[in-house]
Structure formats: structure tokens, C-alpha cells
Chain A
Amino acid sequence: MQTEFRLPALGADMEAGTLVEWHVAPGDRCKRGDVVAVVETDKGAIDVEVFVDGIVRELLVPPGTRVPVGTVLALLDTEAAAPAPEKVPTPSRTPAEEGAAEAIQPRVKISPAARKRALEMHVDVASLRGTGPEGAITLQDVERVGPSPQPSPAVAAEGAAGMRAAIAAAMSRSKREIPHYYLATTVDVTPAVEWLAAHNAAVPVTERLLLPVLLVKAVALACREQAGFSGFYREAKYERTPVVHVGVAVALRGGGLVAPALADTATRSLPELMDGFRDLVTRARAGRLRASELAAPTIILTSLGEASVETVLPIIQPPQVAIVGAGEAAVRPWIVDGNVVPRHLLTLSLGADHRVTDGRLGAHFLARIAALLADPAAL
């Protein structure tokens, strides 16, 4: 059977993307979840996976082409995947050609700034020799080469401006369509901060945890217990998703942000979530997120503690129905047993959708997150 592989939408307001490179060629076998293409979008360069097992029959869109969401990028044979593939009916390649094909396989190491410039200048990054750390291609390497003689026609104007426009479109839609309500509460997170400090002092540096990981787990557990905050609002109806995927807002250094999901957050241990979180942050900043990660979040956690902000009043990312904000965990005066004592306090906030819940339910939800944070060892 023939299956069409289309450019997926990676967010409510993505309209198009530019195919940057193919990781497969006709005749290649691919498995569900394999990354087969890189697409430059307003969320950066995204690895796009296939969702079926199959053999690539034909690539329909050449690199450098900007296409709308939903465009058929390639054709796959899905039945042929079961038996061992017949030899592709083309002359077999010589060992030298095999070697050349192999050499292209490893991901080109290139800084996002250089990748962006290369796209703008129509420079084929595979032809460059990097002078950066571990042979990475730097901005200078790209600019030294200059534009290639035959520029491809439709290269995107993505990048920082494109991302800003996409954020503006999504947030405008959110504010226009979603009747938000906002709640905030101060949480004494001293138990979590102390537990983390003790944990991190006792384990090797590679196993240290960060506070947002505890927050993300507490949010996921609260979502699992209480309906109305995790899921999607579509066609005038709230659908609660059976599995909670908490998206973590990651700020990009050049400006802008993305919120990829930590899949099935509620069932994963803190060390697993930490590894996942680290991986997402690294890849978000290197422009190497996967399409499935961007489309998955059922709720987002936005933590602005690093920016010394006390309270976040977060805006929902449609079609989600809630977003949790966390400010800085700062030492402030607090009253315990009638005495003013210094404690680590964090303002936890909620932006939620009045079409689905009310303030009272929202208050319960925040209180539940706070209660979960009070017993960090149980997370």
C-alpha cells in the first residue's frame, strides 16, 4: 500500500516550512518514529518523523523548497516493509559510492546562526569544512564561502522574525478565543529545595536534578487526578487526553521560545524526567526538536525563576486549556508557627480556560500541585 508522508503542523499557527534536508533516499527502509527529514520552521529546524513502517518510494519535494502544511513530501510503500526488501532495481553502487553515501549520514555539526545564514545565502552546508569546536561549521565558515552560484528559489524568511510572528499569531488567537482566568498562590518550597540540595550533594554530578523537574512532575500528577487542565479544546468541546504530556517552555538565547513535551510525564521518574528535560533544552537551543515533541503538549509549564521574576501570568497555548507558571524560588520572610522565618517561596500561577473550568477548580488544582511539592521524595 502506498502512504503519503505529509508536512505536519507543529503548532496551531504554523502554515508552512522549508525542507532543508532528507535523511532518506528512495529504496530506504524506515520505521515508525524514524527521523526522515529536517524542516526549517518558525520554531527552528525540526526533525520530522514518519508514523508508519515502510520503504521510501519517492521524494517529492527537493531541499530548499518552502511548502504549506499538509503538502505531500514523499511516498512510502507500507506493505513492502514486512518482508525483506527486494534489491532496489537500480545498478548497485560501487564501494566508493557507498562510502560517499555513508559520509553524508553523520549529522553536520553547525551552529544555529550558521545554519540560518547558510539558508539565507543558499550555501550547501554539506560542502563546508568547519573550523569550530569538533569541526563544527561556524558563521564565519559560511560567510567565507559566500552564496552558491545557483540559489534555490523559495528559501524561507524564517528565523527570529518568523518565530516572533508565530508567537504573536498564537497568543493573539489565544487572547481572542480563550476566556482566561488567572490564579496565583505562594508556595513554601523549602522542603523541595532542601531535598534537592541533599540529593544533589549525595549523587554524582551527572545525576543532579533541577527544581523545574520537580515542578513538572507535580503538575503532571495533579493533571492526572483532576480533569479540566490537561487536554485540548476543539470544535467547542474539551477533550481530556488520557496521557499527560507536560510541555516545558524553553527560552532561546536569540529571543523567542518553544515548548516541547516531556512525553507521558506522570509515569516517569525524576531522573528520567531530568534526562528528558536536559535533552529537550539542548535540542531546542540547537534547533533539533522533533515534530512529535512540538505537537504533543497537553499543558505547559513556564518557569521564569531564572529571570528573578516573582509571578508569571501565563497565556494558554491553543488548543490547550491551561498553563502553569512558576516564578523564582527566593528566600523571603514567611510565618511558621507564629514566627517570621526565612523560607524558599515560589509563586505558582495558573492561566486556565473558563470554557472548561472555574476559579474554584483552578484553586484546587494549584493547591494539589503545592501539596505534591511538599513531599518531594514521593514525586
Chain B
Amino acid sequence: MNREQTARRVLELLTAIAPDVEANSVIPGVAFRDQFDFDSMDTLNFAIALHREFGVDVPETDYAHLASLDQCVAYLAERLA
């Protein structure tokens, strides 16, 4: 899976856990928290979705790396390498 495919899949996961977020309104470089009040419940659900999709177990101490779409894709690239 290349970076673009990963980003697309991550976006799908994001809108699946936060159905009130429109996929094409997400700005890749801006923190989810600042764009649509992503909270700790969203972050946890997001971590669960990433685990199911990519098999990556994101410890709580790494949650900061999931803050934005760009950060998340970079983090996954590193963990999956």
C-alpha cells in the first residue's frame, strides 16, 4: 500500500468512526482536534480502527502521532516498515 492509498484508507476509517465529518472537508496538515473537536473517545476509536485495518497496536503514549491525517500516515509508514 503506497502513501496515497494509506491516506485514502485512513480517511475512510476516520469518517466511519466520526460519521458527522465530511471526508472531503478534512485538511491533511491540521490536527483533527482543531478541525472537528476530535476528543479522547474519537482518538481511542480511531486507534481501534487502525488496529483492525493495519494490525498496528498504537499505545496511548503514541496517540500524539495520530493528531492529523499527515502525521497519522507518516506514523503508519514507520510502524509498517
Q: A residues touching B (Cβ–Cβ < 8 Å)? A: 111-113, 132-134, 136, 138-139, 197, 200-201, 204-206, 208, 210-211, 251-254, 277-278, 281-282, 285-286, 306
Q: Which single member of B18, B20, B48, B51 contacts A254 (CB below 8 Å)?
A: B20
A139 touches B45 (CB 8 A): no
* Alpha-carbon separation in the docked complex, A211 to B60 (Å): 13
Taking a contact as CB atoms under 8 Å apart, the answer to whether B20 and A111 are in contact is: yes
B39 touches A208 (CB 8 A): no
Query: Are A210 and B40 neighbours in the complex by a CB distance under 8 Å?
Result: yes
Report yes or no: A132 in contact with B23, Cβ–Cβ below 8 A. yes
Q: Quick one: CB contact mask for B8-49 with A, threshold 8 Å, 1 for yes?
A: 000110011111111100000000000011011100110110
Q: Which residue of B lies closest to A283 (CB)?
A: B19
Q: Which residues of B contact A (CB under 8 A)?
A: 11-12, 15-23, 36-37, 39-41, 44-45, 47-48, 51, 57-60
Q: State A251–B41 Cα separation when bound (angstroms).
A: 12
Q: Are A205 and B48 in contact (CB under 8 A)?
A: yes
Report the nearest A residue to B16, measured CB to CB.
A133
Apart from A211-B40, A278-B44, A282-B45, 8 more pairs, CB < 8 Å: A133-B23, A134-B12, A205-B44, A205-B57, A208-B60, A210-B41, A252-B20, A306-B37
Q: For A197, give its contact among B15, B17, B60 (CB under 8 Å).
A: B60
Q: Collect the chain A residues with CB atoms within 8 Å of residue B15's CB.
A: 132-133, 136
Q: Is the CB of A134 within 8 A of B16?
A: yes
**A280-B40 Cα distance, complex, nearest whole Å:** 14
6 contacts between A and B (CB under 8 A): A111-B20, A133-B11, A134-B12, A251-B37, A253-B21, A286-B20
Instruction: Name the residue of chain A whose CB is nearest to the CB of B21.
Output: A253
The CA of A253 and the CA of B44, in the complex, are separated in Å by 17
Shortest CB–CB separation between residue B43 and chain A, in angstroms? 10
The listed residue (B17, B20, B57) touching A113 by CB distance below 8 A is: B20
CB-based contact A210/B22 at 8 Å: no
Contact, CB under 8 Å: B47 / A205: yes
Closest to A252 in B: B20
Which of B15, B39, B45, B58 has its CB near the most chain A CB atoms (within 10 A)?
A: B39
* 6 closest residue pairs by CB, A with B: A133-B12, A306-B39, A286-B19, A205-B51, A285-B20, A133-B15
- Write out the residue numbers on chain A whose beta carbons fall within 8 Å of the beta carbon of B22: 111, 113, 138-139
